[in-house]
Amino acid sequence: MTGNGARRLLAVWAAMAVAILLAGPGVAQMSQGTDANDGDSEEGEWFLLDSINAGLDEVPEQLRRETPRETIRSFLALTEQEDFVAAAHVLNLGELGPAEQRERGAELARQLAEVLQRGERLNVSDLSGRPDAAIEDPSGQHPQAGQPRRNLELASLDAEGDTYDIRLARYRVEGEDPVWLITPDSVASIPVLYEAFGPSLLEAFIPERFKATLGMLQIWEWIAIPLFLLVTGLVGWGVYGLVGLLAHWSPSGAPSIFTGRIRVPMALLVMAFVAQAVLDYVVSFTAVATTFMRVLLIILIAWGVGTIALRLVDTLLLKVTRRIAGEIDDTKPRDERKLLTTLYALRRIIILITVVAVTVYVLSQIQLFETLGMSLLASASVVTVLVGIAGQAVLGNILSSFQVSLAKPIRIGDLVMFEGQWCYVEGIFYTFIRLRVWDERRLIVPVTYFVSRPFENLSIKGAKLCRTLELVLHLSADIPTIREKFMAFAKEEDNVIEHHKLCCYVTGQSERTQTVSCYLMASDPFAGWIAEMNVRERLMAFIRDNHPEWWPREIAVLSQHDIAKGGHPDAREPS
């Protein structure tokens, strides 16, 4: 090995030695850091405290606080036994001094028990039964599956316009096992929640023996709830009758129509508000009954307001219809019928928006988005398929309805020839079209069926229509006389317009008869039909009274003399 190579090798060894010496402390620090992180990870499973409720007596042996489920189950059992002193050990009273803990602990436990009983239905089985409260998800899809937790939400309640959470947290004192307690923030909000959800003044007069639990409710609630429903129903019945009297006393027209249409929704709306006031200020039931009633009241209020709004839109639409269009037919100008069709389309849009808004409001108020959100997302594909299959006809009709309203191949008031019948378009709704036949019958036709069949719109450009009447006469009939009478009779008809287009011609001939066709222009199809019938009757009467020989007849030749020309039947031609 050369001298230069030896020197290079020594330099490499020296560099490696220096690197090892420098890396030694770093490795030690990394090792210490790892140990420290492990310690932090272990402490991240609970909150460290110097002491827990130092002002209270010893923790009773029957109180279990190792898991969230055991903590709340023990708390409810102790409060049901009215052992509020022992139940106070479930509260973290660290914000209070030792003397205040001893003085207020039992009262706060009693108030919390009342809040949990009345404010929100609590299912203890839904709480975690693990000491670390880790989420167990065998599928592994939950983002927090297997991770320990030290803070859980027990309930969320609204009071005085604010939202208050009742939470459980895991605490540990050095040298003792960790326990689950109600957090200090939640303890501080107990008086406010008790003011909102505590027993009412009326319950102070209820004997204790009626406060015993019977099933899901207390005994007095089984008596009070039917009376509550009866009183609310009587209020609704009274409002229904009162609104009926107002409809009778209101001026005829839109006010009386609107008042008459809102009797049922107004009665239900007042019932809901009265029931809400009674629950807020007079009496309060347990969470099972209160939750059900409040959900029902929210639905009734939303439905009542939405229905009254729709009745108002319908009444305004009816008023506009009567003012602009009057009787729904094609005698009105095209622009008015187009406007009426647009108004009906606007009504359907308002209905759709109202239904969506009411649905969203109800779901948001009863907090279904929070509890069912994941389930709805998980089953979105299944729901989509089911809706697509089951609601295909309904959705198709709704989309076709909007298509008809936007493209306007027909308009409200148009006269159409549909499947061989004269019909006026009387209404275009979400799923069907209502047609008024000329004899006042109503055809209800699904929108998709209507648009998939050919139809003739007799009002698409204008309401006027040319009518044709035909007379079959003898070859001897005098056409100029017939033409003159037709012109005179047609001009006397009020519904016949454009007199310069009146005409009468021979349009057919056979060995015995000729066909005379007369053409007239009418203001609208139905008026044209009436004018055609009138003119035909008058022409037939003229021919019958003045020229009966013009009617077609069977000819038998008995003589060479024609009776129609005045010949004598006994006359014989000279030989």
Question: Which sequence spans correspond to the domains of the chain?
Answer: 47-134+147-198, 217-366, 414-457, 465-550
Q: How confident is the model at residue 67 (pLDDT cuts 50, 70, 90)?
A: very high
E strand or H helix that includes residue 4: helix 3-43
- Cβ(366)–Cβ(298) under 8 Å? yes
137-153 pLDDT per residue, tens: 666 666 667 788 889 88
Question: Does the pLDDT of residue 115 top 80, yes or no?
Answer: yes
- What is the rounded distance in angstroms from the CA atom of residue 426 to the CA atom of residue 438? 12
Placement of tokens 């008015």 in the chain: 336
Which burial class, exposed, middle or buried, applies to 530 when counting CB atoms under 10 A from its CB (0-12, 13-18, 19+)? middle
Please tell me the predicted confidence (pLDDT) of residue 24: 42
Please tell me the predicted confidence (pLDDT) of residue 558: 59
Structure tokens at 523: 């203001």
Where would I find the beta strands (DSSP E) of 419-512? 421-428, 432-437, 442-446, 456-457, 465-474, 496-497, 503-509
Q: Given 3-state DSSP classes, what are the helix, strand and coil percentages for the chain, each rounded to the nearest 5?
A: 55, 15, 30
- What is the rounded distance in angstroms from the CA atom of residue 493 to the CA atom of residue 558? 45
Please tell me the predicted confidence (pLDDT) of residue 330: 54
- What is the rounded distance in angstroms from the CA atom of residue 93 to the CA atom of residue 52? 8
- What is the rounded distance in angstroms from the CA atom of residue 444 to the CA atom of residue 427? 10
Please tell me the predicted confidence (pLDDT) of residue 545: 92
Helices (H), 366-475: 368-378, 380-390, 392-407, 447-451
Q: Looking at per-residue confidence, does 97 or 201 come out higher? A: 97
E strand or H helix that includes residue 549: none
- Cβ(129)–Cβ(69) under 8 Å? yes
Structure tokens at 167: 């939470």
Question: Does the pLDDT of residue 331 top 80, yes or no?
Answer: no
Please tell me the predicted confidence (pLDDT) of residue 416: 85
Question: Across 152-161, 226-235, 308-317, 347-356, which has the greatest mean pLDDT?
Answer: 226-235
- What is the rounded distance in angstroms from the CA atom of residue 516 to the CA atom of residue 508? 7
Mean pLDDT of the residues in the chain: 77
465-550 shares the fold of 414-457: no
Please tell me the predicted confidence (pLDDT) of residue 503: 92
First to last CA, the chain: 167
pTM over 0.75: no
Please tell me the predicted confidence (pLDDT) of residue 26: 38
Note the maximum CA span of the chain: 169
- What is the rounded distance in angstroms from the CA atom of residue 550 to the CA atom of residue 570? 23
> Is CATH 3.40.50.300 correct for 465-550?
no
Residue 203: count other Cβ atoms within 10 Å of its Cβ: 16
Residue 456 pairs in a beta bridge with 417
Structure tokens at 414: 């148009």
- What is the rounded distance in angstroms from the CA atom of residue 2 to the CA atom of residue 192? 91
Question: Does the pLDDT of residue 88 top 60, yes or no?
Answer: yes
Placement of tokens 């992180």 in the chain: 37
544-566 pLDDT per residue, tens: 999 989 988 776 655 666 655 55
For domain 414-457, which architecture applies? Roll (2.30)
298-325 pLDDT per residue, tens: 888 888 888 888 888 778 777 776 665 5
Phi, psi for 447 (deg, rounded to 5)? -60, -45
Helices (H), 250-333: 254-261, 263-281, 287-324
DSSP characters for 348-393? HHHHHHHHHHHHHHHHHHTTHHHHHHHHHHHTHHHHHHHHHHHTHH
Least confident of 204-213, 380-389, 496-505: 380-389
Placement of tokens 């998939």 in the chain: 452
E strand or H helix that includes residue 337: helix 334-365
- Cβ(496)–Cβ(522) under 8 Å? yes
Of 153, 155, 219, 161, whose CA–CA distance to 195 is shortest?
Answer: 161
Q: How confident is the model at residue 437 (pLDDT cuts 50, 70, 90)?
A: confident
- What is the rounded distance in angstroms from the CA atom of residue 468 to the CA atom of residue 503? 10
Could you give the percent of the chain with pLDDT greater than 70?
73
List all residues 6 or more positions away from 391 whose beta carbon is below 8 Å from its beta carbon: none
Least confident of 168-172, 337-341, 369-373, 548-552: 369-373
| Collapsed DSSP state (helix, strand, coil) of residue 414 | coil
| Collapsed DSSP state (helix, strand, coil) of residue 164 | strand
- Cβ(109)–Cβ(159) under 8 Å? no
Question: Does the pLDDT of residue 372 top 80, yes or no?
Answer: no
